[in-house]
Chain A
């Protein structure tokens, strides 16, 4: 099962943290910090796996992928296939890319809410639910539509047009 999904930027700032077993807030922070400590010391052309036993205890694996300014991190146990998890990160990122049209870190910062929606379609309760980014997009679009129809107020606009104007 997948234990946790995290997105951290290269400066160590948190962009998403979802733990599928409950962890207190302080513990979460500590875990992410130690993961980041390991991540930032790794060279570019090495494998995507990290021995996470010292951080998460035995029988846990950690796989990450580095895209521009972001690290996508999945923590999982022996019930998941290592290479498949790597593919799952790809699915996640691809979906984000579809959703935001050439996604960048700022999209994720301002739409963290939506990122949660996407992740909830891919992983539920630590189990992989959907591996096709097309299907995920369909579901996410539907939810967005429903949100819009349910109320005119939009808490977070879909795209952040005013970004450059700041």
Chain B
């Protein structure tokens, strides 16, 4: 078998075009074999190959022990491979890390600086709490190593240690501070400290306030832009805590004016914004000057230099200023709105966010039209469409043989030719634009919207432009636009005919699409079909709409949409057939029965639909239509010329009453909470507590029954109140309607009791659109109906249902965030500022600790005695016992000296419990011990078991 080295592996991969998978599998097999060999060179080579393959997704965690072996090699070249493999494949919970600890300790104490720095730069990748604790003692001396590289790497490593084990900061911060204050320290080390302090700064700014003068000095010396940037970042978190700093920082303006480095300039502006310097200095001449200077510089970045990167960061900064100086930013809306059309999607997104704040009645249409044009003109090439990408999506784990030899040999410094093209819009950007358009238009109850006809048109266009349904759960964007269309139709009465017409056109469009299999806007269909049904009387062509709704292909639609269709069909049917004035001629009868037959034909298969909701509606309406069919056929007809003959009451009165007895009005989400019956229903259920005693139950029963009777009395006219005794239902609209269908003369739709909603739109909380603000176009006056609620004083009642989820809700925990919550809980100021109470508590803790040590020592002696006895019976085992015991002791002692009993109270209790389990003697005292001690305890307990085994 030929021994391949890494080069050959790579070459082999490149040579096996098409059979990479097999090649890699054989290479992996070989590596598995080689890595077990005694030859360190072979081992290291195999490991390096694994690291290479790991980059392509081939897990190498199985080799973690071998990684450790190579790490411990004496030869630097092998050691380095081992460490590289550790960085790439170890995780903080890798098991062999326990064994790596000693090796790391040794390497940290090495005389060769490269070995030390190898260990230092590897540590951040695999550190965990217990390791942090034990390696701290080895790291601290490295802070004063003669080589600056080691010093700065140590500082960063200590910071990463502190992230997992905040106690690290207690002993190390004084030393780091010493380094920071040392004027003769190597500048790169100072820069590293500043880096770390900046990272810690936003987590616990108070601790670094005392250092402000030193940072200020460093900033004014200003040798290193990298460091200046970090210091400014740090100051931006410090200034909110110490207002006096603001005055000192005004010289930043000098820096802004003079620095040639754009990054520093940007950071200065950023610092001024984020540090609240603008707000703090607002009003003073200096403050105004600063604000103007910043904004003019930012404007310069946007226009003068045609650099997209500067445009991007300038927009980022603008976005931060808007919160405090919105008016100043609005002055520059010309350039910012220009960026909405930028070639770069990142810039567009930023500009879009800004644009929201700058929209007014006058420019709303311009901006929205511009965005719409963007959506229409650029193609939708999502990443998946790219053939190159496709390949990597399907077998991305395989490094594919090269087919670009020529390219790969080209120097990467070669300048790129630029090609000018409209970028294809990725789906998420499309969704964002649509969302923002809806947000812009609907904000403040459509305050900025003048022309609703235009808006309906926009929404129709948006629905057509919606990206394909996202795979993730949640409301799809087309659904949201559909909901918005519905919202407008409900709120703005005057626009309903247009909305109905829009719904009709969209339904026709959807028909065509469903034949071709595209389902881009299907999410909106629920709302569209609802509009078509609810405002069926306003439809331009209800018959065509009905045909479209009854199309056989519709049965493939999602159940939610189908349910809405099933509801819309009878409504459109009513619009078509309920005319009272037209005589019941033979022609009309046949027309109606034909319609009914079609509907029945469509509904019948739906009664077996898997979705219960669809099934239920289908069954109900099917019965209704069969009833109607009978009524039609049984009703006497006349010839065209004959005198007026009344059509069946079921068609003209009963069925319409089902759908038109109440008008649709917007209801505030909060209204439901104020609805009386719902609240009380809930109450009656929550009363049945499992914990209440039977005695009190008896007392309650009577009261409850009385209450229930009262409630029943109160709600007897409420059709929606469900009587627990099942005696409701006498006054439902359906009951009345059916009554009337069989000839009951007393039908009175107004008798149908409903919740106290004001049906008349005139009473609704309405807010006229600000028409006066747009004098150019004398437009129709639109009234926008606000939400109805039971109590008009409710402040939130007029708010729109949020179509766009607030950004806070969207903010989820970052994927790559490190949890550093423990860090902020730690106090650095040990001793000095502590209150007496603190000191007492500490003293108590120490006392407890001492007691615990004595206790442990006693136990240890007891165990030793016992193991000595065991030694007589089984010698081999006892040796192990002795060794473990020593470990226990040293670990405990170490622990006591370092972590001064700062463990959480909860922890203590928990540990106490655990301890009790292990030690049936029950001498456990309140001991504050850290993990290490806990771990140390385990072997002891095990030993005890073993010992007793031996006795048996």
Let me know if A150 and B76 touch, CB within 8 A.
Answer: yes
| Nearest residue, chain A, Cβ from B84 | A116
Interface size counted on chain A using CB atoms at 8 A: 99
Whether B44 is near chain A, meaning CB under 8 Å from some CB there, is yes
Q: Give the chain B neighbours of A3 by CB distance below 8 A.
A: 816
The CA of A45 and the CA of B344, in the complex, are separated in Å by: 8
Query: Would you call B638 an interface residue if the criterion is a C-beta within 8 Å of the partner chain's C-beta atoms?
Result: no
- Whether A131 lies near B226 (C-beta < 8 A) is yes
Contact of B411 with A79 in the complex, beta carbons under 8 Å: no
Closest Cβ of chain A: how far from B50's Cβ, in Å?
A: 12
List the B residue with the shortest CB-CB distance to A28: B57
The contact string, 1 if C-beta is below 8 Å from chain B, for chain A 86-113, is: 1100000100010000111110011011
User: Which residues of chain B have C-beta atoms less than 8 A from A137's C-beta?
Assistant: none
Which residues of chain B in 241-296 are interfacial with respect to chain A, using CB atoms and an 8 Å cutoff?
A: 262-263, 266-267, 270
C-alpha spacing A120/B188, complex, angstroms: 16
A-B contact count (CB 8 A): 286
Minimum CB distance partner of B309 in chain A: A47
- Bound state CA distance, A33 and B76, in angstroms? 35
Residues in chain A near residue B149, CB distance under 8 A: 139
Give complex CA distance A156, B270 in Å: 45
How many angstroms from the CA of A38 to the CA of B420 in the assembled complex? 18
A40 touches B389 (CB 8 A): yes
B162 to chain A minimum Cβ distance, whole angstroms, is 11
Report the Cα distance A75→B124, complex, angstroms: 17
Q: A68-B410, A110-B7, A129-B152 are in contact. Are A45 and B814 (CB under 8 A)?
A: no
Closest chain B residue, CB of each to CB of A3: B816
Residues A60 and B388 in contact, CB atoms below 8 Å apart: no
Nearest to B76 among chain A residues (CB) is A150
A146 lies within 8 A of B114 (CB) = yes
A146-B115 Cα distance, complex, nearest whole Å = 10
Q: How far is the CA of A131 from the CA of B152 in the complex (A)?
A: 13
Q: Which of B1-27 contact A (CB under 8 A)?
A: 5-7, 10-11
Whether B412 pairs with A105 at a CB distance below 8 angstroms is yes
Whether B418 contacts A153 by the Cβ 8 Å rule is no
Return the contact of B75 from the options A15, A48, A67, A150 (Cβ within 8 A).
Answer: A150
Q: In whole angstroms, how far apart are the Cα atoms of A3 and B814 in the complex? A: 11
How far does the Cβ of B892 sit from chain A's closest Cβ, in whole Å?
30
A136 to B311, CA, bound (A): 31
With a cutoff of 8 Å between Cβ atoms, the chain B residues found around residue A166 in the complex are 11
Q: From B45, which residue of chain A is reached at the shortest CB distance?
A: A155
B41 within 8 A of partner (CB) = yes
- List residues of chain A with CB within 8 A of the CB of B393: 33, 37
Residues of B within 8 A of A105 (CB): 407-410, 412
**Cα distance A59–B263 when bound, in Å?**
19
Q: Is B59 an interface residue when CB atoms closer than 8 A count as contact?
A: yes
Pick the contact of B312: A49, A59, A102, A151 (CB < 8 A). Answer: A49
**Chain A 22-33 per-residue mask, 1 if CB under 8 angstroms from chain B, else 0:** 111110110001
Complex Cα distance, B309 from A86, in Å, reads 9
Binds A, one of B195-203, B215-223, B779-787: B195-203
- Candidates A22, A50, A102, A157; contact of B411 at CB < 8 Å: A102
- A155 adjacent to B44 (CB under 8 Å): yes
Contact of B389 among A12, A22, A43, A50 (CB under 8 A): A12
Measured in the bound complex, the distance between the Cα atoms of B224 and A84 in whole Å is: 12
Q: How far, in whole Å, are A50 and B381 apart by their CA atoms in the complex?
A: 17
Among B76, B91, B229, B424, point to the contact of A41 (Cβ < 8 A).
B424
- Which of B11, B77, B342, B414 counts the most A-chain CB atoms under 10 A from its CB? B77
Query: B80 and A17: CB pair below 8 A?
Result: no
CA separation between A110 and B56, bound complex, in Å?
15
A1, A18, A34, A59, most chain B CB atoms within 10 A: A1
Among B54, B120, B192, B389, residue most surrounded by chain A Cβ atoms (within 10 Å): B389
Inter-subunit contact B263/A129 (CB<8 Å): no
| Interface residue ranges, A against B (CB under 8 Å) | 1, 3-4, 9-26, 28-29, 33-34, 36-38, 40-51, 54-60, 66-70, 75, 77, 79, 81-84, 86-87, 93, 97, 102-106, 109-110, 112-113, 116-117, 120, 124-131, 135, 139, 142-143, 146-148, 150-151, 153-157, 160, 166
Q: A33-B392, A113-B6, A151-B78 are in contact. List 9 more A-B contacts (CB 8 A).
A: A1-B199, A21-B818, A43-B423, A58-B811, A93-B413, A125-B124, A127-B156, A135-B188, A147-B80
Instruction: List 8 contacting pairs A-B, 8 Å CB cutoff, sorted by A.
Output: A12-B392, A69-B410, A81-B270, A83-B263, A112-B52, A150-B75, A151-B41, A153-B77
